[in-house]
Amino acid sequence: MKKLLFVLFLLPALLHGQEYVDLLKVGYGQTFNNDFEGTNSSTQVKTFDADLTLPLVLNDKHAIITGGAFSRNNLQLFPQGEFTSLYSSTLKVGWAATWNERWSSTLVALPKIASDYADIDGDDFYLGGVILLKYQKRKNLAYRFGFYASSEAFGVFSTPIFGWYYLSPNSQFEMDVSLPVSVDINYTQGIFTYGLDYTGIGRSFNIDENNANVYADLSSLEFASYLQFNLLEKSVLLKAKFGYSSNDFEVYNQGEKIDLGLAAFSFGDDRTQLNPNINGGLFLRFEAVYRFNISEKEKDSEKKE
């Protein structure tokens, strides 16, 4: 019983601080049209991603975090060019600790392979990590502070993280904020949830097909509204999203790097871009989520006792 309750209280500290954890998430999306600047050509961006998180309890204060994430982006990088698939596979290995009733921390290493997977070698391997501190102000309000860093084909990318999680007393209004990475604001009524969200994505992919010796530098901001259908007491979620994504995949020669990437800023960037800028476009996305509801599990445990 003690370990069960520890899992229930620890899991929120792994990622957010809310009363649930999304253990499995699968999504598929597509933009309608992305124009190449200065040309009459355009492309579409098709995306697929899956994310799995599995925590393993060690004792009453600590747990190991395991899991993985996979993504695929399919698009034309050049006007009239062939479609290219860019993949990313990330391993999650970390440690979570609860220090007292107010403070908890999470440290996760995020090694990944990101490329077109045509000829995987050491240039396709990148190492990243994130550290998060959570302060539980009240039962329905928590603050988080953190820092993310990763090696990329263009150099080192890093960003501080600040955010909060808030749930209204009637459990209908929710805010889940981790700036500048993501924002989710939603309202639940019955089996439906209506929301607005934002996601900031920055990553790179090595490209070796046909001895190209280039890489793609992805910078994307996604803004969307969504309708979510909640099944099995909000344990299975089906979500449809519609919005706008910047989705710019810039191509550079391998070896061309910046001095430092910090949040939305690049320092020492004198690279020569090989393809035209890709304009953003409207997109449609569908997601399925398996959610572990902590509050419901606590209630069930109390009833059994």
User: Which position has the token pair 């519609």?
Assistant: 242
Report the predicted TM-score, pTM, of the whole model to 2 decimal places. Answer: 0.87
Distance CA 50, CA 92 (A): 13
Distance CA 80, CA 134 (A): 48
What is the per-residue pLDDT for 294? Answer: 64
Q: What is the pLDDT of residues 46-78, one digit of tens each?
A: 999 999 998 888 887 888 999 999 999 999 999
The b-or-e profile of 15-54 (16+ CB within 10 A means b, else e) is: bbbbbbbbbbbebebbbeebbbeeeeebbbbbbbbebbbe
Which residues in the chain land under pLDDT 70? 1-19, 263-265, 294-305
Distance CA 242, CA 225 (A): 6
- 81 is written with which tokens? 């060019």
Q: How many domains does the chain have?
A: 1
What is the per-residue pLDDT for 169? Answer: 93
What is the per-residue pLDDT for 16? Answer: 42
Distance CA 245, CA 264 (A): 16
What is the per-residue pLDDT for 305? Answer: 47
Q: What is the CA radius of gyration of the chain?
A: 20
**Residue 51: which domain range?**
2-304
